[in-house]
Amino acid sequence: MCAPVDPHVARRYLLRRQLGKGAYGIVWKAVDRITGEVVAIKKIFDAFRDKTDAQRTFREITLLQEFGEHPNIISLLDVIRAENDRDIYLVFECMDTDLNAVIRKGGLLQDVHVRSIFCQLLQATRFLHSGHIVHRDQKPSNVLLDANCTVKLCDFGLARSLSDLPEGPEGQALTEYVATRWYRAPEVLLSSHRYTLGVDMWSLGCILAEMLRGKPLFPGTSTLHQLELILEIIPPPSEEGQTACRSGVGASTQ
């Protein structure tokens, strides 16, 4: 294996193969030696190294424990502490693939699949929004699928509760750098610190368009290019809208 697994984890789970690896950690497909259930194990390296990483890990665990029983949200089965007290293991139900991989293969999604997938995404999002939770990172790679076209929304590291923030006509004060650029709402691209649950709906629209087109709708190479692509399709805002957005003109162009 590419990374060591704690003995107490290996005693419970038989690792089958590596599913992914990144700077954050590593994911394996495994089998529960007791129940025989196939699971996915994500080992997060140094999960609490700083405030940001600790917040992301804590949010994902607490939100999934709260909402994971929804049929279209990934189930968190177990949380296991590593022996070094720095890493942490999250055990999830195992899915076959993700929407990004399906779209990239091309020709697999028929109209009935698109309708089914999008309906399930809407159901998951409606459930989250009913609890005043904004996901903030909906994109094809965070939409897991199985052979029956069942959808499971995953990766809640950027999700936030809006219920503890003050209400207002301009929305909620939140971090502007969220979601992969191609799926970010314009207000996020413009570095607005106040927005609403609507940012998830924008991401869903981008996902739907990508399923229908077979390629991303707004594949921007920078923040500025992203905005240019959006304005090529969507009419520019009114003068009042432009005035409201003026505070975000200085957005970065990463």
Separation between Cα atoms, residue 42 and residue 26, nearest integer Å? 6
164 counts as catalytic:
no
Q: Name the H helices within 41-163.
A: 51-67, 99-105, 111-130
User: Which amino acid type is present at position 214?
Assistant: G
Please name the helix (run of DSSP H) or strand (run of DSSP E) that holds residue 231, with its range, or none. Answer: helix 223-233
Q: Is 18 helix (H, G, I), strand (E, B) or coil?
A: strand
Sign of CA dihedral 81, 84, 85, 87: negative
Separation between Cα atoms, residue 195 and residue 193, nearest integer Å? 7
87: tokens are 């890493």
21 assigned binding-site residue: no
User: What are the E-state strand segments in 125-226?
Assistant: 133-134, 143-145, 151-153, 160-161, 172-173, 194-195
Torsion of CA 113, 218, 106, 118, to 10 degrees: -10
Separation between Cα atoms, residue 73 and residue 120, nearest integer Å? 10
Q: Distance between terminal CA atoms of the chain?
A: 35
* Cβ atoms of 188 and 209 closer than 8 Å: no
Q: Which of 32, 53, 98, 137 is catalytic?
A: 137
Active site residues: 137
| Sequence ranges of the binding site for ATP | 43
